[in-house]
Amino acid sequence: MGKAGIIEKMRLDGKSIFVTGGARGIGKSVAAAFCEAGANVAIVDVDLETAKETAAWLHETTGSDTMAVGTDVTDPAQVDSMVSAVTEKYGGLDAAFCNAGICINVPADEMSFEQWKKVIDINLTGVFLTAQAAGKVMLRQGYGSIINTASMSGHIVNVPQPQCAYNASKAGVIQLTKSMAVEWAKKGVRVNSISPGYIGTDLTLSSETLKPLIAQWNALSPIGRMGKPEELQAICVYLAGDTSAFTTGADFVIDGAFTCF
């Protein structure tokens, strides 16, 4: 029998992965791709009921083993408990998609400390806590892949909406990713980030606040449209699997060339 082809090598059969912010949007879409590739997937979200619905739907549609874990990613104790639950069920942790995030659009001179802190706590500290907890398991194992969700907003300043806290948090995620990657490179643990452009999730497309901005975003985009959540699936499957063994410390910008000028 011949050697396995690249498609077979990219499968994730038997691997265990957790996805934060996995109940909906980008997290749900990427979790579906992980399941379709054969992985066991934990849907981690502060909204436990929706996480349970997503986990059940993924199990029914893909046959993969799934679980739902209600977790506030800003709480170290809850994050540690979540990782313990995942590793106890699956016997280890092969990959983590640290994806939970929010955005609050308020001018910098009007933003309250509470609004600033909420964005930074979820988007940056939450990624640190979940990546750190995953990393501790993976360092003991001697292998693992962590994927953090940054944003093209870590590279540019979005217009016309004011979102200084979001932009700062995502720039922080990119540098956090590179720092962890360098620290853990010789220990078998890889850390990369994805930086999506504007993605048309159900939440974004249904938001009355954001709807008027979509036409402006599309006009600024060389490709002339928003991305789709499923257009982020392939890069995440690649990064979670063994074919990306030499890929660490990288930030993958998937933005329809938005940041090219």
Residues known to be catalytic: 151, 166, 170
Length of the chain as a residue count: 261
Report the distance separating Cα 145 and Cα 138, nearest Å. 8
126-141 and 164-184 helices, crossing angle to 10°: 10
Q: Could you tell me where the beta strands, DSSP code E, fall in the chain? A: 16-20, 40-45, 66-70, 95-98, 144-149, 189-196, 251-254
Residue type, 253: V
> Measuring CA to CA, how many Å separate 220 from each of 11, 194, 214?
36, 21, 10
Residue with tokens 């590739």: 37
Q: DSSP secondary-structure letter at 82?
A: H
Rounded CA-CA distance 86/43 in Å is: 10
Q: How far apart are CA 145 and CA 190, in angstroms?
A: 5
Dihedral angle over CA of 115, 213, 152, 189, nearest 10: 60
State residue 37 phi and psi, 5-degree precision: -85, 0
